């Protein structure tokens, strides 16, 4: 049986239990997937009391960076972006990886697009680094817009091939020039940039949040006639990779994504 949970804080809004449970049922697998509130600084103690019955954990903020302190078995990609959203229990230790990077890539592909051209990433945290790594080598140029320069070094480490530039918060011209915008900020932060959005956007706006549903920023972009990719798509595609990791099963992505999205949209509609 698969026994797993999503860890983070706050965690009550998470749709991961719903999506994972739907996926395991579709695969004919018995599962128990829950959500557990684990705050910053509490992960080590939580993992220390977990027994061998746990298959693994999905990690959300604020634990994606913290988790790397508690395992020496992390993938090269997770180490490069200093972030992991997936823990799997091995015989004597926890193994960490990230499905955020592939989740972004697959969400783009589901909309028949990729990161070709100029990419603007809003934010500077763990998800921004995952987005930068997902776009690296595909984008001609990756531009990071963040309020602080404190994370420049970590962001630079996530990009190995594409040209990289850092710009100030609210640089209006960036939205006109970008072929793809990926917003990775916490709730409400990107909303302050709506006045900088072009009246007739040509680029794609990819919002990683699904709470609130929809966000002010993604609604504004869509209302102006621009193409959007919402945070539910990212949640679904990173979850599909986690389902495969936890179960050992090969998952047919297109049909599973459609099934998970139907359930996700129903849950979001009932919560708004």
Q: Print the SS3 string covering the chain.
A: CEEEEEEECCCCCCCHHHHHHHHHHHCCCCEEEEEEECCCCCHHHHHHCCCCCCCEEEECCCCCCHHHHHCCEECHHHHHHCCCCEEEECCCCEEEECCHHHHHHHHHHHCCCCCCEEEEEECCCHHHHHHHHHHCCCEEEEEEECCCCCCHHHHHHHCCCCEEEEECCCCCHHHHHCCEEEECCCCCCHHHHHHHCCCCCCCEEEECCCCCCCCHHHHHHHHCCCEEECHHHHHHHHHHHHHHHHHCCCCCHHHHHHHHHHHHHHHHHHHC
Together in a domain, 23 and 116: no
Report how many domains make up the chain: 2
Q: Is the pLDDT of residue 83 over 80?
A: yes
pTM beyond cutoff 0.75: yes
Mean pLDDT of 134-147: 97
The domain containing residue 154 runs over which residues?
102-229
Q: In the predicted model, is pLDDT for residue 44 greater than 90?
A: yes
Same domain, yes or no, for 221 and 245? no
**Which residue did the predictor score with more confidence, 236 or 92?**
236
Provide the pLDDT confidence category of residue 148 given band limits of 50, 70 and 90.
confident
pLDDT the model gives residue 272: 66
**Average pLDDT of 146-159?**
91
Q: Tell me the per-residue pLDDT of 216-242, one tens digit each, with 9 for 90 and over.
A: 999 999 999 999 999 999 999 999 999
Task: Answer yes or no: is pLDDT of 172 > 90.
Answer: no
CATH number at residue 17: 3.40.50.10860
Residues 195 and 262 in one domain: no
> What's the pLDDT tens digit per position in 108-134?
999 999 999 999 999 999 999 999 999
Q: What's the pLDDT band for 149 if we cut at 50, 70, 90?
A: confident
* Domain match, 67 and 110 both: no
Statement to judge: residues 82 and 161 lie in one domain: no
The residue-averaged pLDDT of 19-36 equals: 98
CATH of the domain at 158: 3.40.50.720
Same domain, yes or no, for 21 and 122? Answer: no
255 and 181 inside one domain: no
pLDDT at 151 over 90: no
| One domain for residues 148 and 48 | no
Question: Residue 190's pLDDT is what?
Answer: 96
Do 216 and 241 lie in a common domain?
Answer: no
Whether residues 114 and 212 share a domain: the answer is yes
Give the model's pLDDT for residue 108. 98
Percent residues over pLDDT 70 in the chain: 100
Mean pLDDT over each residue of the chain, to the nearest integer: 96
């Amino acid at each position: 049986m698969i026994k797993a949970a999503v860890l983070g804080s706050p965690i009550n809004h998470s749709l991961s239990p719903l999506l994972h449970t739907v996926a395991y049922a579709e695969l004919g697998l018995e599962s128990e997937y829950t959500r557990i509130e684990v705050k910053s600084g509490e992960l080590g103690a939580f993992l220390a009391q977990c027994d061998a019955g746990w298959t693994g954990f999905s990690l959300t903020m604020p634990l994606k960076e913290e988790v790397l302190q508690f395992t020496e078995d992390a993938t090269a990609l997770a180490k490069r972006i200093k972030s992991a959203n997936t823990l799997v229990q091995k015989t004597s230790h926890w193994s960490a990886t990230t499905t955020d990077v592939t989740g972004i890539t697959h969400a783009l592909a589901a909309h028949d697009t990729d990161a070709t051209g100029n990419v603007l990433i809003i934010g500077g945290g763990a998800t921004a680094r995952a987005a930068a790594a997902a776009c690296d080598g595909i984008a001609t140029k990756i531009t990071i817009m963040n309020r602080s320069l404190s994370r420049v070094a970590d962001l630079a480490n996530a990009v190995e091939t594409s040209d990289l530039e850092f710009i100030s918060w609210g640089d209006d011209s960036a939205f006109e020039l970008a072929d793809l915008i990926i917003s990775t900020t916490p709730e409400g932060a990107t909303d302050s940039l709506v006045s900088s959005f072009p009246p007739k956007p040509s680029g794609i706006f990819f919002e990683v949040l699904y709470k609130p549903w929809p966000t002010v920023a993604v609604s504004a972009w869509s209302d102006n006639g621009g193409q959007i990719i919402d945070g539910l798509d990212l949640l679904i595609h990173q979850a599909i990779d986690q389902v495969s990791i936890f179960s050992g099963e090969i998952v047919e992505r297109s049909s599973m994504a459609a099934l998970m999205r139907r359930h996700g949209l129903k849950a979001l509609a009932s919560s708004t």
